[in-house]
Each structure stands twice: as C-alpha cells, then as structure tokens.
Amino acid sequence: MRNCFLKRFLQISSSSRFLNSSRRNKVSAPFIDKEGETAESLRENPGFSYGLNWGLAGKGVIVKDKAFQNLKSSELLAKGATIAGLPLHVRGTLRGNSTISKAQYSKLLKQVTTHISSISNIFVHDGAIGLSPESDAKVRVISDSPSAILSLSRVLWETPTRAVSHDSCPLTVYTATSISTAVEDIIGLGAQGNNGFIAADIERSSLILCGKAFADINGTKLALTALSEPVIFARGGLPLSARLLVSCDSVVLLFAPENAIQSYSDLLVSADAGVVLSPQGVAPLFQTKKLGGINPYRIPSAVILATSDSSGTIPSISKLSPGQAAYHFLAGYQNGEFVPAYYAKGSSYIGVLDLAKTLLSKVKRN
C-alpha cells in the first residue's frame, strides 16, 4: 500500500527536501567510529581526525594536511573527482555538440562493417530497451567478440525470437573489439586512446563500439538511451531520467539528484536513472537483477520529486497537483537555483518542455 511505502520512505530519509516527502539533515544520536570519534565531530572538522590520522600512520602514511574519509559521491565530485569513461560521440541530439560529423560516422561505419565481415566467427544478440512490446526499442548487436556479446546481453532485456527482424525501427550495435586503433586517424577523429571509443548516430539508429568500449557500461547505456528515446517516444512511451522504488504493494516513480538517493538504495529497482512510462505502466530502461519476482510494470501509485535544498524555500512536504508536478519537473530546484534537475544528463533527443508536457498528460490520465 502507498502508506506502507511512504512510512518506510520517511523513516530512512535524510539530508534533502522533497516535494511529496521530506528529508532532514539530522543524526538522532552520535555514533562512535572505529577510530573513537563521533560522526558529528568528523563533520565539524572535515579533513581532520586524530583517530584517522593515527590509523593511517600505523599503515605508514603520514597526513600532511587533510584526510577525507567516507565522502559521499557529491562530495567527491566537489573535490574534483571524475568518472573515467571512453570518448563518446553522439550525432542528432538537441543538446551538446558532437565531435563526429555525418561524413565521419559514415566512414567509420564502413570501416567497422568491413572489419567485422573479415572475421571468421560473428556473434549476434537480440534484445530490447524497455519491457513493453508496444513501446520498447528493439536492438540487434553484431560483434566480432563473444565477450562483448556477454557484456551487452546483461544490459538489454530479452525479446522474443525474430522480434528484431520484424520490427519497423530496430537499433543496431556494432562492436569491433579487434579493429585497428588507427581507425580514429583514418576517419579524422584524432587520437582517442588505446582502449577505444563510442560513436552513435540517432539518424541511422546505430551505435559503434570500438576496442574495449563495450566494457564501459555507463557510456554504452548513455548512448543506447539517446538512440532509443525517439523510438520509444514515437511509440507512446515516455523515457525519463527517474528511478523506481518498490515497497509493499506500491511502485513509486522517483526523480532525485544522485546525492539524495543513497539512503534508500535498498528500495531501488535499479541503480540506473532511466525508466519508460507508458500506458501499460512503468519499467526500467535496462535489465536489472533486482527485479526478482517483483513485477514493477504497472502504473505508479505516486510520483516523488526530490530536491537538494538547504535554504528552506520549498516546504519539506508538498502535495502537488499534476500541473505543479510538471512545473517542478521542468524547473527543478537545487540549493537556490532553478535548473532542469530531472532532465537526463548528456545527450537527449527530446526537449525538456516536451517531456514535461507529456508527463503532465500521463499524470492527469492516471
């Protein structure tokens, strides 16, 4: 039931404000860490801890200035952390400037198909992005490597035999793991590194993974999301940068920044921010093992919009009308600034205004 979910959700919430829910930055009682200091004292003196410094010294490391322990993802990013990934080029999106032209992609595609055609054993895998047969995007993977197929088969949902062959607009993924690294220079991309790169063309509905690019799961998912958006949208589905929470008998659609989801990760159907909302229900874009026997593919019982706001501008708990929900989805609110917080990062085919309007219509209908 919805009340069961909300009770569980409020019990584990902390550090952010929610529209339709609340989260407070509180610690009910200080706890003692293994070096003998409270969590509160560590927060008051970030980067300096006698216990931690002595512990590190015992391992032969002397702290010259500061040592930061157990930082959250947002805090690490604020300190300059970067997420390693291979070069990603996507053509045909509304945002971002691609570093690959139409002519370069055509030349690259010719190089890759010629290379795969020269391999004795070719491996093919068919799958889908999204669970609904009515609004998913069918995908065919063609590869020179069984390792690449194994990796991608864990990302895509299963689809019936021959479904891709009979689909009107399937996506095609070419993985050329053994192609020469000189291919970048041949097509004029310049040096991309020895591990490979990712290139996608939305107009062609195709994705190319060169070298070890298939191992960059985050980059591959980002490219597949961009490719699948126009197909899913045209078929009545709405791709959203959201997550699913399941508790008791309730399925809830959650829009939240990365630093606001850590406390309730056990309720997430998938750690990835990506779902498809359709007339049949809602489900993750990509395969996840956490589904188990749960069937999340039904209409959400609630939509929660979360914000990272310490200014107190937005009330801790606000029940929104469909119009208000669409507005806050469109605007977002992060620590005093209105930004499209619930819009997928990186490349996107669908404009944020169209996303907000479609979300409003689906919320009203349901």
Give the model confidence (pLDDT) of 186-219 as tens digits: 887 766 667 888 999 998 999 999 999 999 998 9
pLDDT of residue 173: 95
d(CA 302, CA 2): 8
Both 146 and 195 in one domain: the answer is yes
Q: Which comes out higher in pLDDT, residue 120 or 18?
A: 120
d(CA 48, CA 210): 45
Give the end of a domain, one of 234, 264, 299.
234
Say if residue 331's pLDDT is above 80: no
Give the end of a domain, one of 200, 234, 268.
234
pLDDT of residue 144: 93
User: Average pLDDT of the chain?
Assistant: 75
Both 227 and 297 in one domain: the answer is no
The CATH code of the domain that includes 182 is: 3.40.449.10
What is the dihedral sign for C-alpha 94, 100, 101, 102?
negative
Backbone phi and psi for residue 353, each to the nearest 5 degrees, phi listed first: -65, -40
Both 60 and 107 in one domain: the answer is yes
Torsional class of 344: left (φ above 0), alpha (ψ -120 to 50), beta (otherwise): beta
Over range 307-329, report the average pLDDT.
70
Q: Which residue range(s) make up the domain with 202? A: 50-81+99-234
Q: Read off the pLDDT band of 13 (50, 70, 90).
A: very low
Lowest-confidence segment of 139-143, 255-259, 312-316, 356-360 by average pLDDT: 312-316
The position carrying tokens 């999204």 is: 130
pLDDT of residue 128: 94
C-beta of residue 34 within 8 angstroms of C-beta of residue 54: no
Say if residue 29's pLDDT is above 50: no
d(CA 283, CA 270): 10
Q: Which comes out higher in pLDDT, residue 27 or 281?
A: 281
pLDDT of residue 17: 42
In sequence order, the β-bridge partners of residue 90 are 200
Nearest to 243 by CA among 275, 218, 281, 198: 275
d(CA 213, CA 208): 9
Torsional class of 51: left (φ above 0), alpha (ψ -120 to 50), beta (otherwise): alpha
| Residue 125 placed within a domain | yes
Q: Which comes out higher in pLDDT, residue 51 or 232?
A: 232
pLDDT winner (highest mean) among 152-156, 314-318, 324-328: 152-156
Q: Read off the pLDDT band of 157 (50, 70, 90).
A: very high
| Residue 31 placed within a domain | no
Q: Read off the pLDDT band of 21 (50, 70, 90).
A: very low
pLDDT of residue 127: 93
Which helix H or strand E contains 243, and what residues bound it?
strand 243-247
pLDDT of residue 323: 77
| Residue 185 placed within a domain | yes
Over range 83-110, report the average pLDDT.
78
Nearest to 175 by CA among 192, 200, 202, 204: 200
Both 321 and 186 in one domain: the answer is no
Over range 175-182, report the average pLDDT.
89
Both 139 and 243 in one domain: the answer is no
d(CA 235, CA 277): 11
Q: Read off the pLDDT band of 309 (50, 70, 90).
A: low
Give me the number of domains the chain comprises: 2
Q: Read off the pLDDT band of 313 (50, 70, 90).
A: low
Q: Which comes out higher in pLDDT, residue 71 or 3?
A: 71
Say if residue 349's pLDDT is above 70: no
Cβ within 8 Å of residue 129, ≥6 positions away:
136, 137, 139, 156, 157, 171, 224, 225, 228, 232, 285, 286
Say if residue 330's pLDDT is above 80: no
Q: Read off the pLDDT band of 18 (50, 70, 90).
A: very low
pLDDT of residue 365: 64
Both 227 and 242 in one domain: the answer is no
Nearest to 177 by CA among 138, 219, 140, 148: 148
Both 205 and 271 in one domain: the answer is no
Q: Read off the pLDDT band of 297 (50, 70, 90).
A: low
Q: Which comes out higher in pLDDT, residue 306 or 42?
A: 306
Give the end of a domain, one of 181, 207, 234.
234
Over range 141-163, report the average pLDDT.
92
d(CA 279, CA 237): 7
d(CA 12, CA 264): 6
Q: Read off the pLDDT band of 34 (50, 70, 90).
A: very low
Over range 178-183, report the average pLDDT.
86
Q: Read off the pLDDT band of 81 (50, 70, 90).
A: low
Give the distance, in angstroms, between the CA of residue 341 and the centroid of all CA atoms in the same chain: 13
Both 228 and 256 in one domain: the answer is no
Q: What is the pTM of this model?
A: 0.74
Over range 25-40, report the average pLDDT.
39
